Amino acid sequence: MSSLVIAQIFNGLVLGMIYVLLAMGLTIVWGMMDIINFSHGLFYALGAYLAYTIATVTGNFWYCLLVVPVATAVIGILLEKGLLRHLYGENILYQILMTYGVAIAGRELIIMIYDPVGKRFDVPELLVGVVSVAGIYFPIYRVFVFFLTAVLTIGMWFFIEKTKYGSIIRAGTENLEMVNCLGINISRVFMLTFGLAMAVAGLSGVLAAPMRGIEPFMGDLILGICFATVIIGGMGSFMGAIIGGLIVGLSQSLITLILPSASIIIIFFVMATIILIKPRGLMGIRD
C-alpha cells in the first residue's frame, strides 16, 4: 500500500471522526426527541465562527475548545425552551419548518455580522508541522484532532452506556412513553439532551475550522452529510453513528484519489446502497 493511500486513509479517519461527533448529537436528538433538527449544521458553523472570534480577540485557540461548547449548549437550550418545546406532539412538518427557519435566519445573521467572505483560521502554533511515522508524514494538527475526537467519542459512549442519565437517553430513544411512565422529568431531559447535542456540534466546528476554513454556508453542506451518516449507521444507534461517520469519512477521502469531483456524490451513493440492503441502516433500532 503506497504512502499516499495510507495518508488518505488517515485523513479519512480524521474527517470521519468529525462526522462521528456531529452524527452522535443528531442521532440522539432525532432518536429520543423525535426532532429532525435542520439547525444542526448551523451550530457547527456557529462553533467555527465563535472560535474565530475568540481566537482573534485572545490569540489563544485553546480557549475555543472550552468556551465554544458551553456557548453553543446555552444557545441550544434557549432554542429548545423558547421554540421547540411548543411543538412537541405536533405534526413533524412544523418542527422541520421551525428548525429550517432557524438555520436560515442564523446563517443570514452570521453573514450580517461577519460578511459573506470566508475566513482563514490558522492552526495553533503548538500544532503546526508534521510528524513522520514509518516514512509517512502526517500533519500534527490532524493527529491531535483524531486523538481528541477518539477520546470524546469514548467519553460519550461511557456517558450514554454507563451513567444514569445516559440510561434515560437510551430508554427514551427506544421507548419514550416508558420513560414518561417512570415519572422522569422529560422536559428537563429533552432540554439537557438538546444542549449536549449542540455543544458537540459547536466543538466539531471548532476542530474542523483550521482544516476546512470558515464560511457562512459551511453548515448547509455538513447538514446533508450528517443526515447521510445517521441514516447509514441507523437512527437512534450510538454505535451506528460511529460506524456511519467512519464509512462516510473514508469513502470521501479515498474517492478523491480517483475522482476528486465525486467526493460528495459518493456519500449519498453509499447511503442509497445501504438503505436498499438494510432500510433501517446498519445498526438502526427505530424506523
Per residue in 34-83, pLDDT tens?
Answer: 778 899 999 999 999 999 999 999 988 999 999 999 999 999 999 988 88
What is the DSSP secondary-structure string of 216-232? TTHHHHHHHHHHHHHHH
Look at residues 27, 11, 45 and name the one whose alpha carbon lies nearest to residue 228. Answer: 27
* Contact (Cβ atoms closer than 8 angstroms) between residue 267 and residue 256: no
Strand partners, 214: 119
* pTM, entire model: 0.89
Q: Give me the mean pLDDT over the 190-198 stretch.
A: 87
Q: Per-residue pLDDT averaged across 142-155, rounded? A: 91
Q: Tell me the one-letter amino acid at 256.
A: T
Distance CA 18, CA 112 (A): 27
**CA quadruple 118, 196, 251, 12: dihedral, nearest 10:** 70
The position carrying cell 490569540 is 59
Lowest mean pLDDT among 27-31, 72-76, 210-214, 217-221: 27-31
Give the closest residue to 278 by CA, choosing from 240, 225, 226.
240
**pLDDT score at 108:** 93
Dihedral, CA of residue 235, residue 35, residue 207 and residue 7, to nearest 10: 30
Taking the C-alpha atoms of residue 22 and residue 224, their distance in angstroms, rounded to an integer, is: 11
* Local confidence band at 11 (pLDDT 50, 70, 90 cut-offs): confident
Residue 32: pLDDT band (50, 70, 90) is low
Give me 43's grid cell: 451550530
The reported pLDDT for the residue numbered 282 is 81
